[in-house]
């Protein structure tokens, strides 16, 4: 009888040397290997793609992947948790908050509140479950240098949390260009487990891509890179039961006369990758209006919230 495979070292084709390389690169459990691509695994373990493909399929077999029954899918949905936004209206629009195992995209114009919501979520994720948190920590990938620790302190104080401790549980990575941003997300696997990360923020997902891939000729490669990047995030969200929150600025298209003059950067790639898309726009004063756009199982609708000194509120 074949011995049961329970860890990465047990996989056929994985010797001590390969195992060590996989561990170092964060491929520490069967699920991470099973959901990797041959090219990716070949690169990290310095092996041929053929060997990598065999290792991946062994991991999948060991995990009994492939078709799932509807019941198994339902079981998995049961482990989905919700993260509060601190606005009852916005939470209601999202049927309880942002979901783990999903990517939530927030898009809107300058000053619409995307970054403010990111800060609020980084605080809220640390709350216990009965208060709408996930009892975990946040990873904040900052591409525009708009992370403000002082704002985290204000929001933490307003919720009765220790501001210093709250800041200690937000891990900030400043991404200097799109390749660096991609690398930070790939490296995130290492710290997610160690530091109990339950929320990954990328604010903003698209700014570097937009600046670096200019012109029609660059569009296809930009979309391809973004697609792969989002795929990595979805995998992380699934594997570690995390919330992924990404922001995206809307770009005015002055040449469009008819139809919607604004369109999220990234276009159709994001359209398919993000499970929830929230469109934010400014209202009067501190009011903001959120609209849920094409969500698979929630009705489209709108919610109004405010950006107050204490943070996001109704």
Alpha carbon distance 92, 289 (integer Å): 13
Asked whether position 116 contacts Mg ion by CB under 5 A, the answer is no
The partner in contact with residue 19, picked from ligand GTP, Mg ion, none with C-beta cut-offs of 5 to 8 angstroms by kind, is none
User: Where are the alpha helices (H) located in 200-279, listed in sequence order?
Assistant: 207-212, 219-240, 267-273
Nearer to Mg ion (CB atom), residue 189 or residue 277: 277
Q: Which of 93, 99, 102, 108 binds ligand GTP (CB under 6 A)?
A: 108
Does 163 sit near ligand GTP (CB under 6 A)? Answer: no
Quote the tokens at residue 250.
Answer: 């809307």
* CA–CA dist 56, 62 (Å, integer): 10
- Closest contact distance (angstroms) between CB of 116 and ligand GTP is 4
Task: Give the count of residues interacting with ligand GTP (CB under 6 A).
Answer: 13
Q: Residue 113's binding partner, choosing from Mg ion, ligand GTP, none, with beta-carbon cut-off 5 to 8 A by kind?
A: ligand GTP
Q: Of 136 and 311, which CB lies nearer to Mg ion in the complex structure?
A: 311
- Among residues 18, 17, 25, the alpha carbon closest in space to that of 55 is found at 18
Instruction: Tell me which of ligand GTP, Mg ion, none is bound by residue 116, counting a contact when its beta carbon lies within the kind-specific cut-off of 5 to 8 angstroms.
Output: ligand GTP
Cα–Cα dist 16/189, whole Å: 21
Q: Within a 13 Å sphere around the CA of 255, how many CA atoms are in the beta-carbon half?
A: 0
Pick what 112 binds: ligand GTP, Mg ion, none; C-beta below 5 to 8 Å, kind-dependent. Answer: ligand GTP
Interface stretch with Mg ion, choices 114-122, 182-190, 257-265, 274-282 (CB under 5 A) = 114-122
* CA–CA gap between residue 140 and residue 171 (Å, rounded): 6
Q: Which of residues 131-170 bind Mg ion (CB under 5 A)?
A: 146
The binder of 173, among ligand GTP, Mg ion, none, by C-beta within 5 to 8 A per type, is none
Task: Give CA separation, 267 vs 111, 176, 188, 247, in Å.
Answer: 21, 23, 26, 13
């Amino acid at each position: 009888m074949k011995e049961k495979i329970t860890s990465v070292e047990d996989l056929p084709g994985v010797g001590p040397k390969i195992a060590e390389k996989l561990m170092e690169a964060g491929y520490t459990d069967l699920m991470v290997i099973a959901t990797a691509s041959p090219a990716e695994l070949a690169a990290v373990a310095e092996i041929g793609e053929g060997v990598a493909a065999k290792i991946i399929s062994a991991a999948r077999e060991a995990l009994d992947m492939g078709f799932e029954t509807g019941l198994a899918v339902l079981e998995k949905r049961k482990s989905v948790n919700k993260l509060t936004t601190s606005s009852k209206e916005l939470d209601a629009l999202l049927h309880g908050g942002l979901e783990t195992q999903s990517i939530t995209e927030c898009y809107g114009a300058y000053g619409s509140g995307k970054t403010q919501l990111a800060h609020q979520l980084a605080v809220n994720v640390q709350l216990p479950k009965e208060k709408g948190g996930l009892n975990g920590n946040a990873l904040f990938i900052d591409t525009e240098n708009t992370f403000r620790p002082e704002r985290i302190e204000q929001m933490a104080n307003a919720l009765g949390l220790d501001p210093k401790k709250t800041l200690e549980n937000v891990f900030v990575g400043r991404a200097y260009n799109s390749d660096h941003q991609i690398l930070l997300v790939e490296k995130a696997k290492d710290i997610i487990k160690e530091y109990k990360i339950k929320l990954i923020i990328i604010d903003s997902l698209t700014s570097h891509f937009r600046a670096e891939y200019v012109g029609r000729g660059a569009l296809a490669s930009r979309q391809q890179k973004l697609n792969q990047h989002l795929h990595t995030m979805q995998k992380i969200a699934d594997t570690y039961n995390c919330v992924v929150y990404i922001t995206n600025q809307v770009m005015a298209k002055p040449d469009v006369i008819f139809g919607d003059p604004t369109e999220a950067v990234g276009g159709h790639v994001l359209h398919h990758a993000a499970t929830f898309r929230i469109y934010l726009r400014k209202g009067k004063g501190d009011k903001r209006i959120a609209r849920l756009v094409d969500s698979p199982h929630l009705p489209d609708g709108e919610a109004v919230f405010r950006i107050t000194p204490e943070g996001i509120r109704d």
